[in-house]
Amino acid sequence: MENQDWVYSNIVKDHFLNPRNFLFGDEKQFEFDAVGTVGNPICGDQMRMYIKVSDDRIVDVRWKTYGCASAIASTSALSELVKGKTLDEALKIDAKAIDDYLGNLPKHKFHCSVLGHEALAEAIKKYRDGS
């Protein structure tokens, strides 16, 4: 299987094996202000991003993901990238920024970074809408 375009970078492996900010167990364990949930019916991945906001900044974030190593690593990386950012700054961390941070996912796994960004965007929209 040499020369196959599926090999993960070390940072992807690290975020997959040591996920940051993962919400283990019941959501009631984390006091959040909004949650965004997205899924991809083609691959079956699902992501849920919980944000805690103060003074228009994401002061804490937790997440749950049902998916592959790329989905888990993407969500973990995004959770680290958005902490301390204003809501507008966090929205600028798009799928390409996540992919770049991870050292590039295999091309057929790029959609995992898109899902993370979409889950965050939904959480921010719900926070702003008050829902």
- For 90-107, the pLDDT digits (tens) are 999 998 999 999 988 878
Task: Please measure the distance between the N-terminal and C-terminal CA atoms of the chain and give it in whole angstroms.
Answer: 48
Antiparallel, parallel or unpaired: β 34-39 and 57-66? unpaired
Averaged pLDDT of the chain: 88
The top-level CATH class assigned to 10-129 is: alpha beta
Asked about 68 being catalytic, the answer comes back as no
pTM (predicted TM-score): 0.86
For 55, 99, 111, 131, the CA distances from 94, given in Å and listed in that order, are 22, 9, 12, 23
DSSP 85: -
Asked about 43 being catalytic, the answer comes back as yes
pLDDT above 60 for 62: yes
pLDDT above 80 for 2: no
Q: How far apart are CA 35 and CA 24, in angstroms?
A: 15
The 10s digit of each residue's pLDDT in 39-57 is 876 777 788 999 999 999 9
The 10s digit of each residue's pLDDT in 5-26 is 447 888 988 998 999 999 988 8
Residue-range domain boundaries for the chain: 10-129
- Which of 11, 39, 43, 85 is flagged as catalytic? 43
pLDDT above 50 for 1: no
Task: Pick the closest to residue 114 from 82, 88, 81, 75 (CA basis).
Answer: 75
- Which of 73, 77, 98, 112 is flagged as catalytic? 112
pLDDT of 45: 77
> Which residues does 89 contact at the CB level (< 8 Å), separation at least 6?
none
Percent of the chain predicted with pLDDT > 70: 92
